[in-house]
Amino acid sequence: MAGRLDGRVAFVTGAGLRLGRSHAVRLAEEGADIIAVESCSATHDGGPGPATEADLADTAELVVALGRRVVRGVADVRDCDGLRALMHAGRHELGRLDIVVATAADAPYPGPSDIDEASWNEMIDTDVRGVWHTINSAVPYLLEQETGSIIVCASAAGVIGVPGLAHHVAARAGAIGLMRAFASELAGSGIRVNAVCPTQIDSPMTFDDNELRSFRSGLGAPASDGTALSTNMNVMSVCWAEPRDVSNAVLFLASDEARYITGTALPVDAGILVRAIAR
């Protein structure tokens, strides 16, 4: 049975763990070959350990086990030259580039009184400038083919204000703005640009002790109870989304089923945006 992405190549940043790995595997399940990228470097704010080269190798093995080709490499999205070199190498080996998934992101750990200059700069550098580098690096190849799909992994936090996470909110809103600008700019060349905006995701990055402190201003549950806090933020009676739920949305936007969809920030949010509007 043919896959929805047979014959295509996807470039996925942040592919070592969590959402990025999930995206890489889900696209490979539908026939895409993968260029898997991870920075393998620690962040200023700490939190759960960053993906390692061994984690990236594990992602590659999962893709290969699905019968797909994979090129993997270490590159930081803040380093445009390094990212561009890896993209070029992957495209040369796999023959083309069709899909770009900008997943790499900084973890929003500090609370409202803890966002220092270094934390702010790292968040903006990774979540905004990193997205810009990723898209800019891919555009020349996509223009050659006059087709392509770019998906920015943003957040519902980029649409609503979340207390305690000003740098995260600003960065995600900036990423959504970049998506819309590129969607307008590239539409005439057959290139679609969209974003996914999830609620909290079930991963080691969700409600770490430091992140719980970020919500201590109160969202209807004790700051010590991450499960209740997360559930209370959603309209649906779920604590959080699974990585695969977001990956299914990425797959849809990458596929021909979404061929007339561009400039859209697609919520995968269990109704968190509805809850925010109702308040």
- Express each pLDDT in 189-207 by its tens digit: 999 999 999 988 875 444 4
SS3 readout for 84-104: HHHHHHHHHHHCCCCEEEECC
Would 44 be classed as within a structural domain?
A: yes
Length of the chain: 279
Would 229 be classed as within a structural domain?
A: no
Quick one: DSSP state of residue 262?
-
Q: What are phi and psi of 33, to 5 degrees?
A: -80, 155
Would 135 be classed as within a structural domain?
A: yes
Would 230 be classed as within a structural domain?
A: no
Pull the structure tokens for residue 172.
């995600």
Is 60 exceeded by the pLDDT of residue 222?
no
Exposure of 265 in the CB half-sphere (CA atoms within 13 A): 23
Would 38 be classed as within a structural domain?
A: yes
The pLDDT value recorded for residue 217 is 44
Cβ pair 250, 28 in contact under 8 A: no
Cβ burial 65-85 (10 Å sphere, 16+ → b, else e):
ebebbbbbbbbbbbebebbbe
| Predicted model pTM | 0.88
The pLDDT value recorded for residue 210 is 53
d(CA 38, CA 31): 21
Would 83 be classed as within a structural domain?
A: yes
**Segment 226-235 mean pLDDT:** 64
Domain containing residue 169: 9-202+241-270
Is 80 exceeded by the pLDDT of residue 176?
yes
The pLDDT value recorded for residue 117 is 87
Q: What are phi and psi of 100, to 5 degrees?
A: -125, 125
Would 279 be classed as within a structural domain?
A: no
Structural domain total, the chain? 1
State the chain's mean pLDDT as an integer.
Answer: 86
Cβ burial 178-193 (10 Å sphere, 16+ → b, else e):
bbbebbeebeeeebbb
User: pLDDT category, 163, cuts 50, 70, 90?
Assistant: confident
CATH code assigned at 144? 3.40.50.720
**Segment 169-175 mean pLDDT:** 94
**Segment 57-73 mean pLDDT:** 98
